[in-house]
Chain A
Amino acid sequence: MSDTATASNQDSHHGLVENNKKLLMWLFLGSDCMFFGTLIATHLIYRKLYPEAYDPTTVFDLELTSFSTFILLMSSFLMALAVSAMHKGQMKSFRRNVIGVIFFGLIFLGCQVYEFTEFVHLDLTIQTATFGSTFFVMTGTHGVHVAIGVFWLICMYFYSHTGKMDPHESAVDVEVAGLYWHFVDIVWIIIFTVVYLIEFIGKT
């Protein structure tokens, strides 16, 4: 009877910790929404006030950005599979999917570095135009978030090889990392539309 009660207490404690971790991550993501909201608003306001100051369609490579967006969406899909695999206790499947997410995340970062380099060659830097200031700060901040996510997942991947990662105990940790990764994806969905696509309406 006593053992049953102790096991029940441990289960309820474990459930409480799980819920608190997820709640904290959702609260953090809510606050990060406000952070990105102000960055996007700043960019849009400057575009609205000075529409003729810079024509971004001359420097944007829409095909490359669409490819980046596709890569990030697919990484989100693999992350969802990694979380599902961990819930099912399939460690090998989890590792395979996490490697895929890391790989796609690095491709996205590579595309962003390439894009930034091209812009600098075209004389668009953070100092040469207001458009450059708001654009580089906003997309750069997003890039830093992606880099943090990649680093987090790399750590998680190696930790899974130490033998200390128990699927039952660590499922919520993987889920929290997954929430962060999906958030990075949804922020890019907004940036892709309001920063890139909208600029091309009526100009092609």
Chain B
Amino acid sequence: MSQVDYAPLPVADTHASDENAKYHTFVNLALVLAAITGIELVLVYLPFNSVLVFSILISLSAFKFVAVIAWFMHLIYDKLLLTLAFGTGLSIAGGTVVALMFIFDRSHVDFDAITAF
């Protein structure tokens, strides 16, 4: 195998400073994500109201989800078309999950009919 290394690309100063700014953003984001994961773990053991804990967990999860997509996946730096391409799939998926949860509501299911099989 070759051990060839490459000279840095002849990027403009602004491009280089953009990449350096991104590096600091990535480091900060990684620290925030790690901290949130720790908070989530502690939160479920605290004697708070269940609805409150549930809401906070969902909010923190949504924040982590959006943060990774926006910064780690570069979506805020890229074209709007890419956001639309992913957003369409994500919306259909989210809509399907919510719709299924409502369709299969406990009060609408005939358990006797299921157990009859």
Q: Chain A: residues with CB nearer than 8 A to chain B?
A: 19, 22-23, 26-27, 29-34, 36-38, 40-42, 44-45, 48-49, 62-63, 66, 69-70, 73-74, 76-77, 79-81, 83-84, 87-92, 158, 161-163, 166-168, 175, 178-179, 182-183, 185-186, 189-190, 192-194, 197-198, 200-202, 204
Chain B positions 46-60 with a Cβ under 8 Å from a chain A Cβ: 50, 53-54, 57-58, 60
Partner of B40, one of A89, A158, A197: A197
Can you list 30 A-B contacts with CB-CB less than 8 angstroms, sorted by A residue number? Answer: A22-B82, A23-B81, A27-B89, A30-B87, A33-B89, A34-B93, A36-B93, A38-B93, A38-B96, A44-B101, A45-B104, A48-B104, A66-B41, A76-B68, A76-B72, A77-B30, A81-B26, A84-B23, A88-B11, A89-B6, A158-B1, A162-B1, A162-B2, A182-B68, A189-B65, A193-B61, A197-B41, A200-B45, A201-B54, A204-B45
Q: Determine the chain A residues whose CB is within 8 A of the CB of B30 once the complex forms.
A: 73-74, 76-77
Shortest distance from the beta carbon of A68 to any chain B beta carbon, whole Å: 10
Q: Determine the chain B residues whose CB is within 8 A of the CB of A175 once the complex forms.
A: 74
Chain B residue nearest to A168 in the complex (CB): B9
CB–CB B19/A84 < 8 A: yes
Q: Report the tally of A-B residue pairs with Cβ distances under 8 A.
A: 172
Main secondary structure of the interface of B (DSSP, over half): helix
CB–CB B37/A74 < 8 A: no
A22 to B45, CA, bound (A): 42
